[in-house]
Amino acid sequence: MQNLAEPNQLVDICNVSVDAELPKQERLADYVRRIKDPYNFKCGRFTFRARYAEGSPPLEDCLRQIMS
């Protein structure tokens, strides 16, 4: 089982900004680095804990789709 952080230890993505001048791949890498754990984060008062089923696309592909 995955070790989950306490909600008060999670990064709030509302407070994360990425340099729009960076190339797309670097923006994605910077975003993931800043939020620390793309599977567990906050957005305002909501906490997200992502889980993926076997055979689902990799998280990186999902994030690329969202950020493009």
Instruction: Read off the tokens for 2.
Output: 């995955």
pLDDT at 2 (0 to 100): 53
Instruction: Report the distance separating Cα 20 and Cα 27, nearest Å.
Output: 7
pLDDT at 57 (0 to 100): 86
For residue 67, what is the enclosing H or E element?
helix 59-67
Q: pTM for this structure?
A: 0.61
**Which portions of the chain are predicted below pLDDT 50?**
1
Q: How far is CA 30 from the centre of its chain?
A: 10
